[in-house]
Amino acid sequence: MTDTDLDRSYSALSQALAEVGQERAQLLLSMLCLALIARQDSASEVLPLIERARLQLAADTAQQHRAVLPR
């Protein structure tokens, strides 16, 4: 995917999230994820991506907790 394609896709996702609203944003993301997962040939292509995203969020959360702790 080119940078232009990535930008167009991200912009379309941002617009769709804004249109469905915060109450349904999680549902939209879940539906999109399932559609993208279904395009893969096997779980072995998907599971590492899920784990990488989980680890990134865990690291971000840990960093935020360290930032608010008094020193």
Q: Where are the domains of the chain?
A: 1-39, 41-71
What pLDDT score does 28 carry? Answer: 98
Radius of gyration of the chain (CA): 16
Measured CA to CA, the distance from residue 23 to residue 17 in angstroms comes to: 10
What pLDDT score does 71 carry? Answer: 58
The pTM assigned to this predicted structure is 0.77
What pLDDT score does 66 carry? Answer: 74
Q: What is the mean pLDDT of each run of 10 residues along the chain (71 residues)?
A: 97 98 98 98 97 94 73 58
